Amino acid sequence: MDLEASRDSFLQYLQYEKRFSNHTLVAYTNDLRQFLEFLLSSYELKSTEEISHMIVRSWVVSLMEQKVTPRSVNRKISALKTFYKYLLRQNIVTENPMLKIQSPKTSKRLPVFVEKQNMDLLLDNIDFGEDLGGHRNKLIIELFYATGMRLSELINLKQSNVDFFSCQLKVLGKRNKERIIPFNDQICESIKKYISLKGNLEHDYLFLSTRGKKINEKFAYRIVNNYLSQVTTLDKKSPHVLRHTFATHMLNNGADLNAIKELLGHANLSATQVYTHNTVEKLKNIHKQAHPKA
């Protein structure tokens, strides 16, 4: 089968059947485009049946020679593995060249997070303004920090997903999985105030632009980046950093790791365990206070 046709069929499968996020779809699209360009320029291949593990390995080597980071190379390998699993299920290929491909080793990167005192400064002392935009911007940051939800989950959040009686909301996460996240009374009042200022608009989406349109990922990212820049010198100032901050602060205050896993919507506990490394400083302080010889 033609490589481009196989790729297009695969991407449609991810979008319409697996319901992958736009961010993930863009990553898969770019990775497969680069792979197909390599096959055409280096081997003049256009058919899926012609690709061997040696050809895939040569692509991996070329990426490493171009100084692409091991983490990025691993993501591209993961995309190809998912691609070939699809091709096998569809009987487009009979052999999987990815079975013999090894991923390069990567150093573990700890999640960066905002210190509690800086989050307190942001939410208690920074002036967001009293207009609709100011309330919306503050609520966006409050919800990221209070719930740990993903960027895609926040921009797709609808008013009908918010249960004011039980102080909880329903989000649609990866792989179309729904989960319930609780929030406190203060967040409840902030949402109510924002909705009252927003008025009755045609969209059910909670967060809208000043033109009454659903906000996009870049819009929410800019808001978070702008306000985090006022309280932290971290290189990364993104919604995902607030997700890390939520998880780290929860763990530091005694939350069960399995509970954090469910709140974050992680499929495996191993994805959540990375946050335990950020609690070493807390353990040091406890040891210093409690041990007679510390």
Digit-coded pLDDT (tens) for 220-242: 999 999 999 999 999 999 999 99
Q: Is 37 exposed, middle or buried (0-12, 13-18, 19+ CB in 10 A)?
A: exposed
Kindly report, residue by residue over 189-221, the tens digit of the pLDDT: 999 999 999 887 767 899 999 888 899 999 999
Element (H, E) at 162: strand 162-163
Q: Of 46, 174, 198, 214, which residue is the catalytic one?
A: 174
Please tell me the predicted confidence (pLDDT) of residue 195: 93
Task: Evaluate if residue 165 carries a pLDDT over 80.
Answer: yes
204 residue type, one letter: D
Please tell me the predicted confidence (pLDDT) of residue 200: 72
Q: Of 76, 237, 243, 244, which residue is the catalytic one?
A: 243
| Strand order, beta sheet including 162-163 | 162-163, 168-172, 178-182
Percent of the chain whose pLDDT exceeds 90: 73
Distance CA 81, CA 94 (A): 14
For residues 53 and 133, membership in a common domain is answered with no
For residues 143 and 268, membership in a common domain is answered with yes
pLDDT range class, residue 185, cuts 50, 70, 90: very high
What the block records as the tokens of 236 is 């990364």
Q: Of 7, 136, 150, 249, which residue is the catalytic one?
A: 150
Helices (H), ranges, 126-209: 132-147, 151-155, 185-198
Q: Assess if residue 110 is contained within a domain.
A: no
For residues 95 and 120, membership in a common domain is answered with no
Q: Give catalytic status of residue 291 as yes or no.
A: no
Element (H, E) at 170: strand 168-172
Q: Assess if residue 107 is contained within a domain.
A: no
For residues 89 and 160, membership in a common domain is answered with no
Nearest to 123 by CA among 184, 204, 199: 184
Nearest to 80 by CA among 66, 68, 97: 97
Q: Give catalytic status of residue 266 as yes or no.
A: yes
Using the 3D structure, point to which of 36, 70, 100 is the last residue of a domain: 100
Q: Assess if residue 294 is contained within a domain.
A: no
Please tell me the predicted confidence (pLDDT) of residue 212: 85
Q: Give catalytic status of residue 145 as yes or no.
A: no
The neighbouring-strand residues paired with 107 are: none
For residues 203 and 85, membership in a common domain is answered with no
52 residue type, one letter: S
Q: Give catalytic status of residue 240 as yes or no.
A: yes
Please tell me the predicted confidence (pLDDT) of residue 202: 67
Distance CA 157, CA 194 (A): 14
Q: Assess if residue 251 is contained within a domain.
A: yes
For residues 199 and 283, membership in a common domain is answered with yes
Kindly report, residue by residue over 86-120, the tens digit of the pLDDT: 999 999 999 999 999 998 887 777 789 999 999 99
Q: Of 84, 86, 194, 275, which residue is the catalytic one?
A: 275
Q: Assess if residue 184 is contained within a domain.
A: yes
For residues 46 and 128, membership in a common domain is answered with no
Please tell me the predicted confidence (pLDDT) of residue 270: 83
Please tell me the predicted confidence (pLDDT) of residue 278: 66
For residues 88 and 128, membership in a common domain is answered with no
Nearest to 191 by CA among 213, 169, 224, 172: 169
Q: List the CATH number of the domain containing 52.
A: 1.10.150.130
Q: Is 258 exposed, middle or buried (0-12, 13-18, 19+ CB in 10 A)?
A: exposed
Q: Assess if residue 111 is contained within a domain.
A: no
For residues 90 and 176, membership in a common domain is answered with no
Taking each continuous run of H as one helix and of E as one strand, the counts in the chain are 13, 3
Q: Give catalytic status of residue 205 as yes or no.
A: no
Helices 185-198 and 132-147: crossing angle in degrees, nearest 10, is 150
CA dihedral sign of residues 107, 113, 117, 118: positive
Q: List the CATH number of the domain containing 199.
A: 1.10.443.10
Residue 281's domain spans which residues?
Answer: 116-287
Give the total number of structural domains in the chain.
2
Please tell me the predicted confidence (pLDDT) of residue 163: 96
Distance CA 102, CA 97 (A): 11
